[in-house]
Amino acid sequence: MDILRYDRQIINIGVEGQRKINSARLVIVGLGGLGSNVAMQMAAAGIGFLRLIDPDKVDVSNINRQPLYNESDVGKLKVDAASQNLKKINSKLELETFPMKLDENNAESLIRGVDLILDGLDGLHERLILNKYAVKLNIPYIFASVQDAFGSVTTIIPHRTACLSCFMKDSDPMPPCAIGVYPPAVFAISSIVASEALAMIIQRKPALAGRLLVFDLETMSFDFVSLRKNPTCKVCGV
Ligand SMILES: [Zn+2]
C-alpha cells in the first residue's frame, strides 16, 4: 500500500481502513453531477474498482458542475471521458464501463459482484429498479438526489433499514435535474455520499442508515427524517 499517498486520511481511518478502501468494488449508476463528483472522490481515496454506467455523452452544459469533464471531452461518451480522467487521478484504479441506461432487464447483471451501489441517477423510476435489485442481491445502496439547491440522501442496507420502495412510489413526483441544479448543492451531496460510502467500506456505522437527510443550501437548513421499514413493502417486506 502507498502509505505516503494516503497518509492524511489514514490518520482518520487507519491502515486497515485504507486496505479495505483499496480492495473495495463499487458501481456508480449515472455519471452526471452527482455520480461524476462521487467518482472523483472515490478514485482519489483509493477505491480499487469502479463500474461506471451511463448512456450519455458529455455536453458543454455539464461542465459547470461536473469538473471530472473538461472542454476537450465534449461529445465523448461520459463513461469514456470519466475513465480517462479518473485514471489520471489514480492510475491503479480498475474500471469497467457500460454506456447504457439501467433498466429492468439489465439491472441485476450490471450491479452483481460489487460491495456497494452509488446512485447518480436523475429519475425515480430507474432508482426504484436499482433499489429492487440491490435488495434482491443484498448489496447496500446509497440513494441521493439533488434538485436546485435541495438535496436528499439516505443509506439503504437491505433487510436492515427501510428500502427506497418503503417510502417512495413510482407515482411520486420527482422532477429530473434538467429543471435546474445549483452547483454547490451537487458538490455538497456528492461529498455526503462519499462519506457514507467510505463509512460502509471501512465498516464504520453510516450516519444516514435508516434516516433521510434533506437539505436546502439556500437557507442552509439540514433536516433528518427517520425511515422505518414498511412491512407491506413489495420489495423488502415479508
Ligand atoms: Zn422496502
233 CA to middle of ligand 1, Å? 5
pLDDT score of 171: 74
234 CA to middle of ligand 1, Å? 7
pLDDT score of 189: 97
160 CA to middle of ligand 1, Å? 10
Whole-number Å distance between alpha carbons of 199 and 158: 16
pLDDT score of 89: 97
Q: CB of 77 within 8 A of CB of 93?
A: no
Q: Beta strand pairing status for 49-53 and 116-119?
A: unpaired
Reported as type and span, the H/E element at residue 7 is helix 7-22
| CATH for 7-226, options being 3.10.20.30, 3.40.50.720, 1.10.540.10, 3.80.30.20 | 3.40.50.720
Name residues with Cβ closer than 5 Å to ligand 1, which is an ion. 163, 165-166, 233, 235-236
pLDDT score of 82: 98
132 CA to middle of ligand 1, Å? 9
Global model pTM greater than 0.85: yes
207 CA to middle of ligand 1, Å? 19
163 CA to middle of ligand 1, Å? 4
Whole-number Å distance between alpha carbons of 184 and 147: 11
φ/ψ of 123, rounded to 5, equals -135, 150
pLDDT score of 216: 98
Question: Which residues in the chain come in under a pLDDT of 70?
Answer: 172-178
Q: Domain map of the chain by residue range?
A: 7-226
Whole-number Å distance between alpha carbons of 184 and 64: 10
The shares of helix, strand and coil residues in the chain, as percent rounded to the nearest 5, are 40, 20, 40
